[in-house]
Structure 1
Amino acid sequence: MFGGFVKLACWAALLTGIAAGPAGAVSVSKEMTVGGRASAPVGYVAFCRAYPAQCLAYGKPAEIPLTSVRLRELEDVNISVNRAIAPRTDAELYHVEEYWTLPFAQGDCEDYVLLKRKELIERGWPSGALLITVVFDEAGGGHAVLVARTGAGDLVLDNKVDEIRPWYVTPYVYVKRQSVVDPNAWVSIGDPRWPVPVTAAPR
């Protein structure tokens, strides 16, 4: 693993070149562009009824400077949760289409997200910098990731990969996410990499 300063230098070089892509390439900001209000996933609404403390706002709704310590926290939590939880669908575990919960040994994509968010908040991250985000994956299926808002841009914690990635290099179509100021409000996401608007979102 690279040292913290080397890794941060690599991040800086990557993010500096965002707007200057190949001719004809779409310019993408290091932060997502959000739009109007969106509906909260039904599984999230039920989760908040069962675990109301997990759906409160904690800390100030600000992006976090990406120091080597903060980057290591993201990496540690992403890897540890990915390795601790075996992937299983809600249908396999609970015999229902959608069920969000804090996992113990097995879980679906949103369960990984909930546990990572919980652990990072316990490490002092504000909830407004840790946004549950709904996407379409490479196969067109619904998927959930955790987006960390940092001074280096929006970074993705994903149960499919251990690497922390800027949102715009992932293969996903971004649909909606939690509001920065209110974890119970959701907003749509404008993804300039995909010219066709997304009209239907995963539940």
Structure 2
Amino acid sequence: MTGIRNARRKLETLVAAGLAAACLSIALPAQAFLARPTLFAAVGAATKAPSGWQQFCIENADECRPGADQARDVVLTPELLQQLYEVNKYVNDRVTWTSDDALYGNAERWTLPLDRGDCEDIVLLKRKLLAKAGWPQGSLLITTVEEFGPAKGRHAVLTVRSDRGEMILDNQTPEILFWYETKYRYLSRQSAADPNVWVAFGTEQPKPPTLLADR
């Protein structure tokens, strides 16, 4: 029990440090970002939640309960955009990607990381930090994707919903992109109404009229 308490204290310290880093930000040129097309991904029917999420919720029930503000929309401001950049960078820098097999001898285990973890763990920590900072849980959706190219494989990212569309926080890049700017095929994600309900993405996705010149 002492080991568990110490781990929880370390995690609480990590969360506090992450929020402090998010507050120590300088203004980014956000207007060009906010001017990008507003477009929401098409999702379809409910699908089975990943086994890692189910196991995580057994061990961390408080992290999996729908929030009172679950479906509240976020009005994206330059300040909130900067907070996303800071939290994304903080976690990406803090947590060294390490496979579940190397850490736990298990092919799939989702958990909140301290300094090592895989893509799902990194997403969970970003979700926790942003929720602590006041983002509604329904705007922070764990998302499974498939990568294209020679390194094709499954991956997890965090979708952040706002009135300006859906942004992707990814441990593979410090850049924040709208979902339609990434090179992923989207598979499933949490419902904005309930984190324990997962929905599949539609096979046909909307496209913006044009992608801006900076992409």
Structure 1 counterpart of 2:51, which letter? V
Q: What is the Cα deviation at residue 151 of structure 1?
A: 1.2
1:2 is displaced (CA, Å) by: 8.6
1:31-70 residue pairs with structure 2 within 5 A? 31-58=40-67, 59-70=69-80
- 1:60–1:45 CA distance, 2 compared to 1 (3 A): closer
Call closer, same or farther: CA 1:191–1:150 in 2, change over 3 Å.
farther
Q: Which 10-residue stretch deviates more, 88-97 or 105-114?
A: 88-97
Q: What is the CA distance between 1:11 and its match in structure 2?
A: 2.1
The answer as to whether partners of 1:173 and 1:191 remain within 8 angstroms in 2 is no
The CA distance in 1 between the partners of 2:78 and 2:34, in whole Å, is: 12
1:174 aligns with 2:196: no
Moved more, 116-125 or 61-70: 61-70
TM-score, with normalisation over the residues of structure 2?
A: 0.79
Asked whether the equivalents of residues 32 and 191 of structure 1 are also in contact (C-alpha less than 8 Å), the reply is no
Once the two structures are superposed, the pairs formed by residues 56-135 of structure 1 within 5 Å of their partners are: 56-58=65-67, 59-135=69-145
TM score, norm. by length of structure 1 = 0.83
Structure 1 contact 35–187 (Cα < 8 Å) conserved: yes
Q: SS of 1:161's equivalent? A: coil
Q: Distance in 2 between matches of 1:62 and 1:33?
A: 19
Q: Which of 171, 176, 193 does residue 159 from structure 1 map onto?
A: 171
Q: Is the 8 A contact 1:11 1:152 kept in 2?
A: no
142, 161, 164: which one aligns with 1:149:
161
Q: Work out whether residues 120 and 156 of structure 2, in 8 Å CA contact, stay in contact via their aligned partners in 1.
A: yes
Q: Is the 8 A contact 1:37 1:185 kept in 2?
A: yes
State the 1:56 CA deviation: 1.3
Distance 1:55 1:111 in 2: 14
Distance in 2 (alpha carbons) for counterparts of 1:172 and 1:61: 26
* Cα separation, 1, equivalents of 2:70 and 2:152: 35
Distance 1:146 1:61 in 2: 17
How far the C-alpha of 1:60 sits from its partner, in A, is 3.6
The separation in 2 between residues aligned to 1:135 and 1:75, in whole angstroms, is 21
Aligned to 1:15: 37
Amino acid at match of 2:32: C
Aligned to 2:3: none
Cα distance in 1 for partners of 2:105, 2:79 equals 40
CA drift of 1:192 comes to 3.1
Letter in 2 for 1:13: A
Cα distance in 1 between the residues matched to 2:164 and 2:108? 33
Q: Aligned partners of 2:140 and 2:90: how far apart in 1?
A: 17
Q: Distance in 2 between matches of 1:85 and 1:12?
A: 28
Question: How large is the Cα RMSD of the aligned pairs?
Answer: 1.8
- The one-letter amino acid of 1:47's match is F
Q: Which runs of 5+ in 1 are unaligned?
A: 17-29, 195-203
Alignment: residue pair count: 179
Deviation, 1:57, is: 1.7
Deviation at 1:3, TM superposition (A): 4.0
1:12 shift after superposition = 3.7
